[in-house]
Amino acid sequence: MLNLDAAQIAALAEVLRTGSFDRAAAALSVTPSAISQRIKALEERLGTVLIRRGQPCTGTAAGLRLFRHAEEVALLEHALAADLGPVPGAGGHTIRIAANADSFATWLPAALAAAAEAVPGLLFDVTLDDQDHSAEWLRRGEVAAAVTSHAEPIQGCDSLALGALRYHASASPDYLGRHFPNGVTAEACARAPMLTFNRKDELQTRWLAARFGTPPTPPSHFLPAAQAFIDAAKLGLGWGMNPEQLLWAPVISGSLVLLDETQPLDTPLYWQSARAVRPALAPLTQAIRAQARKELRAG
């Protein structure tokens, strides 16, 4: 039995949650020195470094494993409190999840709201990352669940198919007239500026590859915000892939047009969650699956 010290584990978890000894101290109402002493004592007891000091502080493999353990225990205790009914002094609990920005800009908030309504006191800490990379947060133990394009279950996790988020290549009418006067050809695409969310975003390249086989390599703007991404397309800055839910109103109003309405790009999404806390995550999983059925394309 490890018989881990609760105060030391709480200090570790808060440092990794906030990325700072000072912020961890403020959250736990102790001094930064006390946090440092608790972490040092825990590292000496376990004989390994748990935190890489820096801006922000990050966890080693051992530190992240302990952090995941602390999060899972807290989540199970919150679920137990909910089953027992009102418990004096029982507070809420935060579930850390990773998701792609387009899910968060479309269907995911409604699912989180439904879960929070079903489980009073439930809070969420959402980390945004590309759907092809969000599973890495789960693999590292930094989140309890993730919306991801990664279908194969990560070790210790369940993977549930949610459906596909459909994208269309879109641009402003003026942009289309300036850059594609003779149609959306490979030659024109090689010159026309496109919009890219960040350097992990491959949606535009995948659409070009599906259309032309060997994709051209256009110049690109990088705009890491879902609303700014679609606003930039409306303003004629470039063309980009946008979720169909965000395109309905702009297309109806005429501020955006589709480069080819017959060629959407579907991105399958999966809900991966830690198996150890499956019962505690059940209300969130249920809400995620219900909202996905409403808004995502059937796989």
Neighbours of 155 (CB within 10 A): 7
Of 163, 158, 139, residue with least CA distance to 64: 139
- Residue 83 has what pLDDT? 63
Query: pTM of the entire structure?
Result: 0.80
85 Cβ contact list (under 8 Å, min separation 6)? none
d(CA 132, CA 134): 6
Prior bond of 215 cis (ω within 30°): no
Per-residue pLDDT of the chain (299 residues; tens, 9 = 90+): 567 888 998 899 889 888 899 999 998 999 999 999 999 999 888 889 999 988 898 888 888 888 888 877 777 776 666 665 554 444 567 888 999 999 999 999 999 999 999 888 888 999 999 888 888 988 888 888 999 999 999 988 999 999 999 999 999 999 999 999 999 999 999 999 999 999 999 999 999 999 999 999 999 999 988 889 999 999 999 999 999 999 999 999 999 999 999 999 999 999 999 888 888 889 999 999 999 999 999 96
Residue 97's SS3 state is strand
- Residue 255 has what pLDDT? 97
Strands 145-148 and 93-99: parallel
Long-range contacts of the stretch 2-8 (C-beta < 8 A, 24+): 4/42, 4/66, 5/38, 5/41, 5/42, 7/38, 8/38, 8/39, 8/41, 8/42, 8/45
Of 260, 149, 246, residue with least CA distance to 211: 260
- Residue 89 has what pLDDT? 47
CB 96 within 8 Å of CB 16: no
- Residue 208 has what pLDDT? 97
- Residue 45 has what pLDDT? 87
- The radius of gyration of the chain from alpha carbons, rounded to an integer in Å, stands at 23
Q: Quick one: CA torsion of 35, 11, 13, 54, rounded to 10 degrees?
A: 10
Neighbours of 62 (CB within 10 A): 15
- Residue 287 has what pLDDT? 97
